[in-house]
Every structure is written in structure tokens, then in C-alpha cells.
């Protein structure tokens, strides 16, 4: 089969070892709504990539494309042949009326795995993920964390080249999450390109590549460091919620307020950090600002002791969502659809 355009590239080129799987300028439309708007995403073999964004951001649509379950309206998909893809849909992707063992046996036969290999591999993964005592239990009767672990094992059982996991860790307790991350790391160590959707930014920070989506559009993509570096403007922290216009640019984190100053915003400059017990990154931030903006006070504002904060991935993604909301003049919604 040759690759039509728009479409899916499957053929001799796609079955050879690839340096990435993913999408190129992919658009997917549901009626009037553009669920994916020119999304380019690349997942490399042997590493974990994370897709982040809130409810309605387009994560699930992108993952369905990567799983080969839906076609793109325009743009390209570059995917391994279907038998070389592993997919866990949102909500665990297991059969509630089958036991743990039956779920895995069913998956193994669907992928035409040799019986001995299937037994050995499911035995090993089930044991390591702490499911050995639950092999005869129906998937529908497992706890949320156990069911997610079963779903990930089922998706990676046949050692796919591309493993696509839709929110395997949402609502899962930290102990099960550690098991899930072990499975994810194991799949990557075995050579799979692992794509994981998550709403936890600390989790995304553990990935090598991150794609942040909002409303079907790419908010940022690259390594966590690249996304952080690309954040426009600067960030301050304050113990109190700011008044006036800045209120709309502030949000709560860690019991304090983060305030985003967009580029060109005449913002209170960051001054005397010696009293703030700064860490190294704070000092570097301040230095960088002074180099860019000149010495404190030059913008005609009285210097204030507002410590700058070096953003992390969560801050950078929050700023991206906030900037879009402010630009669209949307009310505070608490959602992202």
C-alpha cells in the first residue's frame, strides 16, 4: 500500500527501523469542531513522550490517530503497521467480564503471539506489576490502579514498536503509579516509542519529549526544558493575590500566587533577592532580566521585592493556557473546551 495524501504512511519505508513515529500537520474535524489543528508530533523509539492538556484539549483524538483508529482529514500520519502498534484507550482498555489471565490470553491471540512466549511475557509482567495474586479476578472487579496496570500490560504484551497509552495514571494512587511507570520504562527499554497522555505535569516532566495541546492546537512541543525556555514573559510569586488587572494573570500554586507578566508588560522589577534567600536559578533569572531590561527601576516603576521564579513545566503550560484565555477574552471557566 502506498501512502495517499492526506493519509497514513505504511509500506516498505514504514516497516524499516524509523527514527520517529507520529503526525505531520495533522487535522481532524468532528462536525464544525477542529479537534486537531495542524498538529505535528514525533515519538522516538526507546523513549517516552508525553501529551499533556486538559479535558477537551485533543489528547484523545491525537492518540486515536497514533493508534491508527481514526484517519486524519489533512496532514500525514507516520505509523508502524497495525500489528506493531499497542494501544490502551482511556479508561483502561480491558474487558471487564474477562479475568486478568483471560484478558491477556485474548490479547496474545489477537496479536498471534506464540503461546509459550505469551505465557512467559504475561507471567513476568503480571508478577512485576503486583497482579500475580489477582490473575483469576475479573478485570471489572479490580481496583482502578490494578485495572490500569492490566491495560498497560495488555497493550505492551506483544512488544509493539509504538505504544500508545491514554491517561494510564489518572486517578491512580502513587504506589500503582510507580508500577505503571516501571511498565512504561520497561516498554521503552525494550525499544518501543511510548506515547503517554497525562494531565499530571510532574509526570510529563519525566518524559524526554512533551507535546502540550489546548483546544486542538499545539501550545508547545519539545523537551520539557525547551517548552519552559519558550515561555513568553516572566513569572513572579507573591504571598497575596494581586489586585487590579494583574489579578487575571495570577493563579494559585503551592499556597502562594504566581503572576505572569507577558512580554512588554511594565512589571514590577525583581530586585533585592539577597533578602529572599534565593536559590541559584532565581539569581540567574534576575541577572537575565537585568541584562534584558536594564537595571531595576529603569522602567519608571518603583522596585519591589517580588521574587522572580524560574518556571517549571507546569508553570509554562499554565501560562500557555492562560495566554490563550486572555487573548480570547474568555471568562474564568476552569475548563479548556
Partner 1 sequence: MTALAQCVGVSRRFGDFTAVDGVDLQLGPGEVVGLLGANGAGKTTLIRMLLGLLATSGGQVLLFGEPPSRRTRQRIGYVPQTLGLYDDLTPAENLAFSEAVFGAAPGEGGRQVIASALPESLRPYRRTVVGSLPLGVQRSAAFAQALAHQPDLLILDEPTSGVDPLARARLWETVAIAATAGTGVLVTTHYMDEAGECDRLMVMADGRVVAEGTAGQIIGDARVSVVETGSWAAAFAALEAAGLPATLVGRTLRVPGAGPADVRRALGPVEASVTVAPATLEERFFELTLTSERARESA
- Contacts with partner 1 by CB under 8 A lie at 46-48, 53-57, 143-145, 167, 170-178, 181-182, 184-186, 188-190, 199-202, 205-208, 214, 223-224, 251-255, 314, 317-318, 321-322, 325, 331-337
Asked if 206 contacts 47 with a C-beta cutoff of 8 angstroms, the reply is no
Residue 7 or 144: which CB sits closer to partner 1?
A: 144
At closest approach, how far in Å is the CB of 313 from partner 1? 9
Instruction: State the minimum distance, in angstroms, from the CB of residue 287 to partner 1.
Output: 25
Residue 43 or 207: the one with the smaller Cβ distance to partner 1 is 207
189: left (phi > 0), else alpha (psi -120 to 50), else beta?
alpha
Per 3-state DSSP, the chain is made up of helix, strand and coil in percentages (nearest 5) of 35, 25, 40
φ/ψ of residue 7, rounded to 5:
170, -155
Comparing CB distances to partner 1, the nearer of 1 and 185 is 185
Calpha distance 180→58 (Å, rounded): 23
Min dist. Cβ of residue 99 to partner 1 (A) = 20
3 or 322, CB closer to partner 1? 322
Closer residue to partner 1 (CB): 9 or 161: 161
Strand order in the sheet with 250-253: 234-238, 256-261, 250-253
Cβ proximity to partner 1: between 9 and 312 the closer is 312
Q: What is the DSSP string of 99-118?
A: BHHHHHHHHHHHTT--HHHH
CB of 202 to partner 1, least distance (A): 5
Is 13:6 a contact under the CB 8 Å cutoff?
A: no
Kindly report the length of the chain: 337
Work out how close the CB of 198 gets to partner 1 at its nearest, in angstroms, rounded to a whole number.
10
Which residue's CB is nearer to partner 1, number 11 or number 171? Answer: 171
CB of 303 to partner 1, least distance (A): 27
- Return d(Cα 180, Cα 32) in angstroms, integer: 37
Q: Which three cell numbers stand for residue 77?
A: 500520519
**Least distance (Å) between residue 262 CB and partner 1:** 15
Q: Under a CB-based contact definition with an 8 Å cutoff, are residues 271 and 265 in contact?
A: no
Q: How far is the CB of 188 from partner 1 (least distance, A)?
A: 7
Closest CA to 223 of 78, 73, 42, 18: 42
Provide the sign of the torsion angle of the four alpha carbons 275, 278, 282, 287, taken in this order.
positive
Q: What letter would DSSP give residue 6?
A: S
Amino acid at each position: 500500500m502506498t501512502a495517499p495524501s492526506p493519509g497514513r504512511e505504511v509500506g516498505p519505508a514504514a516497516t524499516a527501523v524509523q527514527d520517529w513515529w507520529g503526525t505531520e500537520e495533522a487535522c481532524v474535524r468532528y462536525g464544525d469542531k477542529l479537534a486537531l489543528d495542524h498538529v505535528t508530533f514525533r515519538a522516538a523509539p526507546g523513549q517516552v513522550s508525553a501529551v499533556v492538556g486538559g479535558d477537551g484539549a485533543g489528547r484523545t483524538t491525537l492518540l486515536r490517530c497514533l493508534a491508527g483508529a481514526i484517519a486524519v482529514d489533512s496532514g500525514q500520519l507516520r505509523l508502524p503497521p497495525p500489528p506493531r502498534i499497542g494501544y490502551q484507550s482511556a479508561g483502561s482498555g480491558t474487558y471487564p467480564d474477562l479475568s486478568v489471565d483471560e484478558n491477556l490470553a485474548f490479547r496474545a491471540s489477537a496479536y498471534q503471539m506464540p503461546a509459550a512466549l505469551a505465557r512467559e511475557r504475561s507471567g513476568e509482567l503480571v508478577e512485576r506489576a503486583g497482579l500475580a495474586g489477582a490473575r483469576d479476578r475479573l478485570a471489572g472487579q479490580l481496583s482502578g490502579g490494578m485495572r490500569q496496570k492490566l491495560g498497560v500490560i495488555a497493550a505492551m504484551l506483544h512488544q509493539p514498536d509504538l505504544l500508545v497509552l491514554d491517561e494510564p495514571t489518572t486517578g491512580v494512587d502513587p504506589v500503582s503509579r510507580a508500577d505503571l511507570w516501571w511498565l512504561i520504562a520497561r516498554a521503552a527499554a525494550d525499544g518501543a516509542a511510548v506515547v503517554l497522555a497525562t494531565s499530571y505535569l510532574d509526570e510529563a516532566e519525566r518524559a524526554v519529549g512533551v507535546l502540550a495541546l489546548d483546544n486542538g492546537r499545539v501550545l508547545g512541543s519539545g523537551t520539557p526544558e525547551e517548552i519552559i525556555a519558550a515561555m513568553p514573559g516572566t513569572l513572579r510569586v507573591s504571598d497575596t493575590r494581586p489586585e487590579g488587572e494583574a489579578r487575571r494573570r495570577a493563579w494559585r500554586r503551592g499556597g502562594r500566587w504566581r503572576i505572569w507578566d507577558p512580554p512588554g508588560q511594565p512589571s514590577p522589577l525583581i530586585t533585592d533577592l539577597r533578602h529572599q534567600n534565593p536559590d541559584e536559578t532565581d539569581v540567574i533569572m534576575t541577572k537575565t532580566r537585568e541584562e534584558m531590561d536594564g537595571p531595576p527601576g529603569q522602567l519608571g516603576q518603583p522596585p519591589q521585592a517580588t521574587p522572580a521564579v524560574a518556571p517549571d513545566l507546569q508553570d509554562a503550560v499554565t501560562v500557555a493556557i492562560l495566554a490563550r484565555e486572555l487573548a480570547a477574552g474568555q471568562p474564568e471557566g476552569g475548563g479548556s473546551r
